[in-house]
């Protein structure tokens, strides 16, 4: 029996073989060892991530079909990537579509004696903070804050930013219009687009 495009083929004909591994279904190619751990450098892992970024609810069977591998391979790869923390499958609400009134970026300069990581950890526990980035330049941290209205945003500033000993200064930039809100990672793997 030989494997052709992941399908067990009979050695005597060009038809899918019958039997335990020859039922015409795609089977895992046992000659290719799966990586021991999830690797971002692996082409198959990147292709899986690319598809799941477009539709996190895509069934493993469809991912397998598009990538021409077995469903079990996809299931194992996704499990390994999730276990190592390389992949999380989550729902992300677009603040514009969800009709939040206030979306602002706040540039923070961390006070002497504090670290950006400490401030990021504290602010990361606040539900209205949806994005925290350690940056180089004028600020130490850039955060995005989304609230239901301006009063809630003012409350956030008063409670979490002003007069906090770990923040030296802050500059608030209110969002007026969002031109692009893309949560997908940049992808160079166009062969999986469909």
Reported as a single tens digit per residue, the pLDDT across 28-67 is 544 444 444 567 678 899 899 889 888 888 999 999 999 9
Q: Is the pLDDT of residue 4 over 70?
A: no
- Domains belonging to the chain, first-starting first, are 2-84 (1.10.10.10), 102-174 (3.30.70.920)
Least confident of 91-100, 139-148, 159-168: 91-100
pLDDT per residue as tens digits for the range 80-125: 999 988 888 877 666 556 666 788 999 999 999 999 999 999 999 9
Q: Is the pLDDT of residue 161 over 90?
A: yes
What is the sign, positive or negative, of the torsion defined by CA atoms of 147, 149, 151, 154? positive
Token couple for 144 = 């995005």
Nearest in space to 35 (alpha carbons), one of 66, 81, 82, 68: 81
């Amino acid at each position: 029996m030989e494997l052709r495009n992941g399908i067990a083929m009979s050695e005597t004909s060009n038809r899918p073989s019958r039997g335990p591994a020859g039922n015409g279904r795609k089977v895992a190619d046992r000659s290719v060892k799966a990586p021991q751990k999830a690797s971002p450098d692996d082409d198959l892992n990147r292709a899986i991530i690319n598809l799941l970024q477009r539709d996190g609810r895509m069934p493993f069977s469809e991912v397998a079909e598009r990538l021409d591998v077995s469903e079990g391979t996809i299931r194992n790869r996704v499990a390994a990537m999730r276990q190592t923390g390389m992949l999380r499958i989550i729902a992300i609400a677009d603040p514009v579509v969800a009709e939040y009134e206030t979306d602002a970026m706040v540039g923070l300069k961390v006070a002497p004696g504090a670290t950006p990581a400490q401030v990021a950890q504290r602010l990361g526990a606040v539900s209205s903070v949806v994005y925290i980035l350690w940056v180089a330049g004028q600020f130490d941290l850039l955060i995005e804050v989304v609230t239901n209205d301006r009063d809630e945003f003012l409350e956030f500033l008063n409670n979490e930013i002003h007069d906090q000993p770990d923040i030296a200064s802050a500059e608030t930039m209110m969002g007026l219009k969002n031109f692009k809100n893309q949560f997908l990672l940049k992808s160079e793997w166009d062969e999986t687009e469909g």
